[in-house]
Structure 1
């Protein structure tokens, strides 16, 4: 297999050199060119046909957002955005994710980050992951509808794995009982969340807790954008707040989100304890805290993302109460890591294309 061909787009010559040096240290990668703005990038994408593009958000002549829109229409290619952590930078980054960027890296200290080495390993990992994404997945329209794919039993015939005990569907699942929805996602998550959250009705009879792997400063912008597009209320979670039906709470970047019982209500707890499997917030941490609630049936959803965060938490959920679980399908996952790991436990009740997940949630609540 040949090296991953990368085009680096940044208006700073220093940043172009720094990123080039970092990536070419990895033997799997080859930087085939650089561009100083979006207009230059469009031309070089057509000439050089890179496998992955790293794109600065803020540039003169044509900024990263405008360039990304053109790239997705004219020459689709996996794009990773490099963004500042300012409020405007965060809002632009969330917009880029909705347009079709695979992922993003937060620059540690502004447009010209002398300390970019802090995110070097993350950048390399995300470039490798982006190089494996099929272009067809970048081009799925948010409104494109697909038929549901088959359930876990048929799916296991497509994805052979070790024979394990299959969870027996709980005949006592009661639509009238108190419900809690817990949802975890990572790479490709902002776009997937837009598919799901915007289709949930304001009358949904359950609160929703969400972990999206993101650094501090970006989850507020994600919550604001989803809130503006949705019938339900979407907000960044706050420590100590009582959760309510019809509201989705997104764990703030850099904080684990746990849910605790307090009398007849549920309360959010946020903390900055040690990352779990490299993540804070962690889906496992949220799922495991939900597993300790005895008076609620839980609906667990695992969508696109690298790694296996959420799998251990799902096992604890299933072994401690009534649970229904949904995983995003391979067909629509930008990165089929987290859903695949969950499906392999045989504790997933339904595997669905992202366009059908909201409808499946409503079937259970």
Structure 2
């Protein structure tokens, strides 16, 4: 049985969410009305996973999440509204340590909840098995327990840092294709933040998210990175030193034009379950560029999106990197690539940027 703690100030939401998971038959469920009550139940109930509303009276979801990650880290799925404010708060929650988020129904709750039920259950199941970083906010956890935070632990928990060496211009022009899902925003931070502003290839990202969230994600990454980061909402010519984030609720494809290769948002193809689809992105890239000029990076996420297309890319002579199991929050997508024999390299998250630069330098 999976122990699930549902935290929401709405009695109706607690009842509806509890009913969805009770119907699955393999969840043991507790509920909490606010952040303070949730913290009390962390010890008494010891949940395997928590769903956490953001907006609650008293201690809100972000404050509660902050306490959970320091006092008793466990997988947390945020319940978020699809608004600009909700997007910013959700990205903040993901940076604090939340594993994933689910859409909070905006219409008649009892009707809308059924629409998202299947994805909600799948997300919570994946989160319950998620791998939390042992070093995330380690110093705060040690201080909370009254332990001394010694230098060796500080070195372990420190981020990889910005890569200082300047890449020369590779002999071949190319494109980096990145796919990620559950756990993806912090993974994108770790991949992109170390790269120098003059990174010589454009980077195109398919991150499974709604449209409101991808716009906020691109803006956040642009603030964090030396590279320029933009959301693809209209056709745009690919340029070196720029990261192109696919707009949510659509697919991101590459097309060839006389002026060069362009990225554009295309209506979501029902043949693909997740959007923006990594498989569709990689397939479109292979249609406009030689495989040897493409590098695929598949990072944390549930399911197998990207594995089939990147396996074809690898077989055709392209380079592929799969995030290693020891760092992936959910080793579904990169694990599927490895199991299919399509991963040229299997690399822990904090080393992917360095591996990427090595591959570009030798292209």
TM range (shorter): 0.7 to 0.9
What is the rounded CA distance, in whole Å, between the counterparts of 2:40 and 2:127 in structure 1? 21
Instruction: Kindly provide the CA deviation profile for residues 275-321 of structure 1, in whole angstroms up to 9, marking residues without a partner as x.
Output: 3441121100000011112357011100011111111211332344x
- TM-fit CA distance, 1:338: 0.8
- TM-fit CA distance, 1:253: 0.8
1:242 aligned residue: 237
RMSD (Å) for aligned C-alpha atoms: 2.1
- TM-fit CA distance, 1:347: 2.9
**1:227 and 2:241 correspond:** no
- Could you list the runs of 5+ residues in structure 1 that have no partner in the other structure? 147-173
**1:343 and 2:358 correspond:** no
- TM-fit CA distance, 1:211: 0.5
2:146 aligned residue: none
Larger deviation: 69-78 or 294-303? 294-303
Would the aligned equivalents of 1:81 and 1:103 in 2 still touch at CA under 8 Å?
Answer: yes
1:98 aligned residue: 95
Alignment of 1:127-138 (within 5 A): 127-136=124-133
Instruction: Kindly provide the CA deviation profile for residues 43-85 of structure 1, in whole angstroms up to 9, marking residues without a partner as x.
Output: 1112211111100011111111111111000011111000001
Larger deviation: 234-243 or 224-233? 234-243
**1:30 and 2:28 correspond:** yes
Distance 1:181 1:325, change over 3 A: same
- Counterpart of 1:298 (choices 294, 298, 309) is 294
The alignment partner of 1:261 has SS state of strand
The alignment partner of 1:284 has SS state of helix
The alignment partner of 1:335 has SS state of coil
2:48 aligned residue: 51
Q: TM-score, structure 2 length as denominator?
A: 0.87
Larger deviation: 219-228 or 270-279? 270-279
- TM-fit CA distance, 1:12: 0.8
What is the rounded CA distance, in whole Å, between the counterparts of 2:233 and 2:224 in structure 1? 21
Q: TM-score, structure 1 length as denominator?
A: 0.87
Would the aligned equivalents of 1:107 and 1:113 in 2 still touch at CA under 8 Å?
Answer: no
- Counterpart of 2:158 (choices 110, 126, 143) is 143
Instruction: Kindly provide the CA deviation profile for residues 212-242 of structure 1, in whole angstroms up to 9, marking residues without a partner as x.
Output: 1112211111111111111001111123111
RCO higher in structure (CA 8 A, sep ≥6)? 1
**1:107 and 2:104 correspond:** yes
Would the aligned equivalents of 1:84 and 1:106 in 2 still touch at CA under 8 Å?
Answer: yes
Would the aligned equivalents of 1:275 and 1:281 in 2 still touch at CA under 8 Å?
Answer: no
2:164 aligned residue: none
Higher helix share: 2
2:328 aligned residue: 333
- Counterpart of 2:306 (choices 304, 310, 315) is 310
What is the rounded CA distance, in whole Å, between the counterparts of 1:62 and 1:175 in structure 2? 52
Equivalent pairs counted in the alignment come to 334
**1:61 and 2:54 correspond:** no
Distance 1:190 1:60, change over 3 A: same
- TM-fit CA distance, 1:138: 7.9
- TM-fit CA distance, 1:113: 6.7
**1:123 and 2:120 correspond:** yes
